[in-house]
Amino acid sequence: MLSDDTASSVPMNIVHGSYGQLVLFLVLNVWPSHFGLPLLLLVIFSSKNIQRHPTFINLCIAFIIVGIMSSSLLLYAGKLIGPEPSKMLCLFQASLLYGMPPLTSTAAFTLVFQMFLVIQAAYRGKEYRDQDHAGRLWAMILFPYLFFFVSVIVTAVVGASMPENISRNRRFFYCSVESLALTNALTIFAAIALFMTLITEACTVYILCKRWVALKRNDTTLGWTIELSLPLRILGFGLYIIVAMSLSLLSIKSPSSPVPDLVIAAAASVVMIIFGTQTDILRALRFWSKPSSDYDHAQKHGITYDEADMKPPPVPPKP
């Protein structure tokens, strides 16, 4: 049973942060989860001309969960500074936050893996159809949340069994549970997900390079039916997640600097910058602007712009 009178034996202020860094941490978590990402999803769902894969929607929802249900709890409770929060509140936040690495790393991997499947199919001159792989699609959607809930439950059980190891000041920005076994398990799981993401990105880059070499040789035997703007954005985001999560895992093992926590807190903002600045998103946000005649023709005939160079396909001559 948790008791606020339990003496805490965990080290205090392991992460050395300032009040300004605490404010920055909150801003990086609050603005995308409460405003930016919900707006992005609203634009996607409300526009008939914008289509995004469910794995991308999943990624946005994952960061909304992280920002609203986890990182902002102490802000809602008014316990960011001052006396320690109650053990119950602190364990609740710690449990949700310890579910963050499995959730976000797995969601990022599924997005990168989906991109790899599409590019691999296009390289072979085929079209990747989700309806042909319904089981795989549902697994990619549900597994991040399964791993999240398992991590939350395990952390709650571990924390409840050793309430003296629950503390906010230990990690400065948020509550944590000092448990070497729990930390090692989360680190290993997230490291595996990041390694799989890295391998998938490497395989994707290899395919793109092979295609580029074939084009240089004027080899027309290889099919290619997709544009590269979105895949390149996903590759860039995947690389950022690998670096950010690696820093986060390092901070869990050897906490001292606030930089890793701030870098991973910026991940949702990076999502907004990378994916919220795509041509179709910006065009939907400029709802008062009249589309060009070329754009009207493209939409009428089901043609999409090549976002890599912002150049619409030529309009066929009238008969």
- Scored b (16 or more CB within 10 A) or e, 186-211 reads bbebbeebbeebbebbeebeebbeeb
102 burial class (0-12, 13-18, 19+ CB within 10 angstroms)?
Answer: buried
Residues 262, 307: Cα–Cα separation, whole Å:
31
Q: Which of 86, 19, 25, 56 is nearest to 269 (CA)?
A: 25
Confirm if 10 and 164 have CB atoms less than 8 A apart: yes
- pTM of the predicted model, to two decimals? 0.81
Residues 61, 144: Cα–Cα separation, whole Å:
11
Residues present in the chain in total: 319
Each residue of 229-241: pLDDT tens digit?
777 888 888 888 7
Averaged pLDDT, 51-58 = 92
Confirm if 180 and 264 have CB atoms less than 8 A apart: no
Each residue of 58-71: pLDDT tens digit?
999 999 999 987 77
pLDDT attached to residue 207? 87
Span of 103-112, 180-189, 212-221 with lowest mean pLDDT: 212-221
pLDDT attached to residue 211? 78
pLDDT attached to residue 301? 41
Alpha helices in the chain (DSSP H): 19-31, 37-46, 54-65, 73-77, 87-98, 100-123, 134-161, 180-216, 229-253, 259-265, 267-275, 279-285, 293-300
